[in-house]
Structure 1
Amino acid sequence: MSKPYQRISIAECNEPLVAIPDDIFKINPHPYMSLGAPYGDRSPFFVRQGILEKLQKSQAYLQTMYPNYQIAIFDAYRPIPVQQFMVDYSFEQLAESKDLEVKDLTEEQKNSLMAEVMKFWAVPSHDPKMPPPHSTGAAIDVTLNISPVKCGGNIQEINMGSPIDEISDRSVPNYFASFRNAQAVGFNRDRELLNQVMTHSGFQRHPNEWWHFSYGDQLWAWISNEQLAIYGGVM
């Protein structure tokens, strides 16, 4: 199940992975770690040095417009075993949501479910020419929070219309663009705000996921019509 962007060549720039500092809000407990995803001695809250600098630029830009808003990190670096774990988990959850038992699935059902999963999850490939975006340290899943100044001490996550990782059409960035009710208009407005502040520093948004942004990986290069990616897999 390769994807079109995986045909982009990679000219690795060898930037290090660095920890996302504590002054950038991180969603804890980390959702995949809570499920038992096999990070080993790795942490999900790492990115390449250049990605951190762009994230900080986006955060600063957001706060020039909305001082009480902040970008919140849901997920960043993802080792390939974690990618495999989450693809398997998502497949099982999707089957369960359709009242299907995984052990009883026909091949046709398995293929149909996996096709839905792979609209949102990258192939957990060990091929250095086709690394999953999050395994490069160049992709991040983010949302928006309102900081304690406005919320009386409690950080409030902004409702974006669907949860991160939901396998449905609601996850498509412009899903709510044609709706006219006030709530849907608000969802679309906040998704566009997130896109505005992230693209301000050069990130590109995943076509199917309002929360996923990257810079320098194959998906970014494909969306940007660039000939080369600069971030390959970090094993």
Structure 2
Amino acid sequence: MNGLTPSSPDIQAIPVNECHEPLVDLTQCSDLRVGPPPECPETEPDYCWVRQGVRDRLIQAQALLPEGIYLRLYEGYRSAAVQQMLFVNHLAQVKQDQPDLSDQQAYVTSTQLVSAPSRPDGTINTPPHSTGAAVDVELVDERGTVLDFGMEIADWSRVPPTLCESDCAGLSEHAQHNRQHLLDVMQRVGFVNYPQEWWHFSYGDQFWAYMVGQPVAIYGRVNR
């Protein structure tokens, strides 16, 4: 990955040939499970929406799981305004935790876990969640209990960034197995994983296009 994030210039340079596929509400899909709203209340109106093609692939992924194990959406679509709020808050936290970083270093560090809606020079970026192409997902059992992944998604800003990485070392055998199982199932139906976040997958956005060698993305920024 060489430090690439969805906000990196090489990713953002990939053109978008918007296919105008609609957003759909996963709470209306009986084949999939949706968790409670994420910890940020501003996401609640939108978090369960994704592009139609993303929904179809999530259904395919669910069909690959063993009986009694379920794919559950943690978060899907985010408006540009919510994405901006999350990035600004995270950037402020990074600057507080690492006061020796320059503004540019703090910006780059922040983009490792929260995509930036714009660059320091004001150029507009396209965060994956604001396209409806990205999903944060986990596996749960029949009771709705999240399987052991070594951490809860909601704790992403309170744990060492290395713990968020898909191939984090030092996990328990169960946590390693569950992360790999989720990764295998999602990749089999066409998603790509963002390696800095074991829970984040996308299909059709610029990051996906870069990872699979497609010349263009099919999903750009969209308003719900």
The amino acid across from 1:12 in the alignment is: E
Q: Deviations over 1:167-186 (max 9, x none)?
A: 6111111113xx4xxx6222
Q: Does 2:80 match 1:80?
A: yes
Residue of structure 2 aligned with 1:217, choices 182, 205, 208: 205
For structure 1, the 5+ residue unaligned runs are: 149-154
Q: What is the aligned partner in structure 1 of residue 175 from structure 2? A: 187
Q: Secondary structure at the match of 2:149?
A: coil
SS in 1 for 2:27: coil
The answer (yes or no) to whether the contact 2:118–2:124 under 8 Å persists in 1 is no
Quote the offset at 1:43 in angstroms: 1.5
Distance 1:216 1:175 in 2: 26
State the aligned residue count.
209
Query: Is 1:6–1:129's contact at 8 Å kept on the other side of the alignment?
Result: no
Are the equivalent residues in 1 in contact too, given 2:47–2:77 (CA < 8 A)?
yes
Q: Identify the residue that residue 170 of structure 1 maps to in structure 2.
A: 163
Whichever residue aligns with residue 87 of structure 1, its letter is F
Q: Which amino acid aligns with 1:75?
A: E
CA distance in 2, matches of 1:27, 1:76: 11
Q: Which amino acid aligns with 2:185?
A: V
Identity of matched residues, %: 30
- Quick check: 1:9–1:129 contact (8 Å CA) kept in 2? no
**Are residues 158 and 38 of structure 1, via their aligned partners in 2, closer, same or farther at CA, if it must alter by over 3 Å?**
closer
Query: In 2, Cα distance between the equivalents of 1:18 and 1:131?
Result: 20
In the other structure, the counterpart of 1:158 is 147
| Cα distance in 2 for residues equivalent to 1:199 and 1:2 | 22
Instruction: Give the partner amino acid of 1:6.
Output: Q
Moved over 6 A (4+): 126-129
Corresponding position of 1:13: 19
Q: How does 1:1-235 map to 2 (within 5 A)?
A: 2-22=8-28, 23=30, 24-33=32-41, 37=42, 42-62=45-65, 66-94=66-94, 98=97, 108=101, 110-125=103-118, 130-148=125-143, 155-164=144-153, 165-166=156-157, 168-176=161-169, 179=170, 184-235=172-223
* Cα displacement (A) at 1:128: 9.9
Q: Using structure 2 for the length normalisation, give the TM-score.
A: 0.83
> 1:37-94 CA deviation, whole Å, 9 max, x = no partner?
377xx511101111100011101111xxx21111111110011111011112223444
Q: 1:125 to 1:94 in 2, by over 3 A?
A: closer
Aligned to 2:3: none
- Cα deviation for residue 199 of structure 1 reads 1.1
Q: Pairwise CA RMSD of aligned residues?
A: 2.5
Instruction: State the AA in 1 paired with 2:175.
Output: F
Structure 1 200/161 Cα, relative in aligned 2: closer, same or farther at 3 Å? Answer: same
Structure 2 SS opposite 1:10: coil
| Structure 2: gaps of 5 or more residues | 1-6
Deviation digits for residues 86-125 of structure 1, max 9, x if unmatched?
Answer: 11222344456x3x7xxxx57x455444332211111113
Q: Name the amino acid aligned to 2:47.
A: P
